[in-house]
Amino acid sequence: MRRIRAAVTALAAGSALLAAPAVASAAPIVETTSLNETTLEIRYTNTSSSPATCGGLLHFFGSPLSWFGLPPAVIVPPNSTATQQVPYVIGGVHTVSWWCEVPGEPLHSGRLGPVAVGGLADVLVDGFNQATGS
């Protein structure tokens, strides 16, 4: 009987360890700002205690045609912010794909959109976001 109890206790302890939540990695915060009619700024905020390497691509009008930020990747210090600019952009409503690599964590990536570049596009996207509550 003691062997059965010991086996059940060991099994329960083992399954509890397997079910324990992993330490969650904090995903970076990524935001965009239209600097002028032809330049987009991507801002990366690293919430981890390790440096992150981040980069982004602007997709023209949501299409596969893309333009990368300059520099192509930025190093974001721990608990800090870094920016990347995407110059020579045609004003309009676009999307941005981004990635951040933090050592020891899975690759973080995502997509932002609609992203406005230029005065008229800013007005259109702001109106859309207000209408939809985004």
**What domains lie within the chain, and their CATH numbers?**
25-132 (2.60.40.10)
Mean pLDDT of 120-130: 68
Mean pLDDT of 7-24: 40
At 2 the pLDDT is 47
At 117 the pLDDT is 84
* Per-residue pLDDT band at 21 (split at 50, 70, 90): very low
Flag whether pLDDT at 5 surpasses 60: no
Structure tokens at 33: 């700002």
Where helices occur in the chain by DSSP H, the ranges are: 2-19, 119-132
| 3-class SS shares of the chain: helix, strand, coil, % to 5 | 25, 40, 35
At 11 the pLDDT is 40
What are the CA-CA distances from residue 8 to residues 4, 16, 39, 45, 110 (Å)? 6, 12, 63, 47, 44
At 1 the pLDDT is 46
The per-residue pLDDT for range 23-63, each reduced to its tens digit, is: 445 789 999 998 888 889 999 999 999 999 999 999 988 77
The per-residue pLDDT for range 76-122, each reduced to its tens digit, is: 999 999 999 988 778 888 899 999 999 999 999 999 988 888 766 66
At 17 the pLDDT is 36
